[in-house]
Amino acid sequence: MSNTSARRLRVVVFPGGFNWPIWVAQAKGFFERLNLKVELTPTPNSAYQLTSLIAGDFDVAHTAFDNIVAYNERQIQTQLRRTPDLFAFMGGDNGLLRFITKADIRTYADLKGQQLSVDALTTGYAFVLRSMLEANGLGKDDYELVSVGGGLERWKALQHEGPVGTLLITPFELLAKEEGFRLLGNAADVLGRYQGLVGAANRGWAASHHEELTGYIRAYLAALAWLYDPGNRDEAVELLIENTTIAPYLSNEVYDVLVDPAQGVAPAATLDVRGMEAVLALRNRYLIGGPVLSNVSKYFDLSYYNAATYGPDQA
């Protein structure tokens, strides 16, 4: 039932299948039942997403946990209009990162002297890619990293001249494999536990919008429960097709990747402390000369998640 007094929530996300729970919550009325009107905006890159969130242009972002750390610690090359005070209020996934290259790149050794693309050089998953390359015998002088943007932008760049490889997320890695690109590696095989996407907000905004944020989390969790119900698979796949450019014949494969409690979208949107510690470890490893980061509790607050979980189930 429509409510003209619904509270507006501006949410900024990277394009990708991990937005499925948001699409479900919109389509099934889970947000509406909690008097929320969610406006979803895609971001071209992390710099736009995080600077806009910090400035108050958006209320919520689904972004890499690494971005929260990088911006709070000012380990960035971007000018900010406000002092960052970001935190993660729920989890999302382990990054879902696959290393995709052009077809003529058959081994990591073939990457020597080549150009690879990332979102930003000191945030997001650039350090994940560097660790994968290092684990396979490549030093930082063996290749060049260039900043291109989010997953959609990197996938577009890979289809043209320039970078020969990049980390992609579902469904882009499936599209790439269909078009003859090579899956060279899986980040999870190198890193193990890793906290990828999280729900993020400014602490000040969250404190003054407790009801909106707990309602958003409650609706999101209801959408996850719906998505993980096998009986909803066909309808879920239809929603995926409606909200992406994924071909129908690939949609069930996307479902199998993302709706997987072990390797896909976290079924209860939980945060992985060990995975967050892995994020800090990578930043400490590759940002030489910066402060040693060790306290992951600085970057998350589960009080809103707990309030949503233990409060009345209105969704």
**Are the C-beta atoms of 216 and 201 separated by less than 8 Å?**
no
Report d(CA 127, CA 141) in Å as an integer.
Answer: 15
Q: State residue 1's pLDDT score.
A: 43
Amino acid making up residue 18: F
Contacts of 86 (CB under 8 A, 6+ apart): 50, 53, 54, 68, 71, 72, 200, 201, 202, 203, 299
> Is residue 5 very low, low, confident or very high in pLDDT (cuts 50, 70, 90)?
confident
Q: Is 145 helix (H, G, I), strand (E, B) or coil?
A: strand
Q: State residue 40's pLDDT score.
A: 97
Mean pLDDT of 39-67: 96
Report d(CA 118, CA 22) in Å as an integer.
Answer: 25
pTM for this entry: 0.92
How much of the chain exceeds pLDDT 90, in percent? 80
Mean pLDDT of 5-28: 95
**Are the C-beta atoms of 278 and 195 separated by less than 8 Å?**
yes
**Are the C-beta atoms of 20 and 92 separated by less than 8 Å?**
no
- Of 177-181, 215-219, 302-306, the poorest mean pLDDT is in 177-181
Asked if pLDDT for residue 314 goes beyond 50, the answer is no
Report d(CA 10, CA 52) in Å as an integer.
Answer: 11
Q: What's the angle, vertex CA 224, arms to CA 280 and CA 41, rounded to 5?
A: 70
Asked if pLDDT for residue 290 goes beyond 80, the answer is no
Q: State residue 157's pLDDT score.
A: 93
> Which structural domains are found in the chain, ordered by start?
7-94+195-310 (3.40.190.10), 98-191 (3.40.190.10)
Q: State residue 232's pLDDT score.
A: 98
Higher per-residue pLDDT: 170 or 198: 198
> Is residue 151 very low, low, confident or very high in pLDDT (cuts 50, 70, 90)?
confident
User: For residue 39, with 0-12 CB atoms within 10 Å meaning exposed, 13-18 middle and 19 or more buried, which class applies?
Assistant: exposed
Q: State residue 312's pLDDT score.
A: 53
The values of phi and psi at residue 160, to 5°, are -125, -175
Q: Which two tokens stand for residue 75?
A: 């380990």
Mean pLDDT of 32-61: 96
Q: State residue 305's pLDDT score.
A: 98
Contacts of 165 (CB under 8 A, 6+ apart): 99, 100, 101, 102, 105, 111, 114, 116, 117, 158, 184
What pLDDT digit, counting tens, does each position of 186-224 carry?
998 999 899 999 999 999 999 999 999 999 999 999 999
Asked if pLDDT for residue 169 goes beyond 50, the answer is yes
Q: State residue 3's pLDDT score.
A: 52
Paired strand residues for 166: 100, 117
Contacts of 288 (CB under 8 A, 6+ apart): none
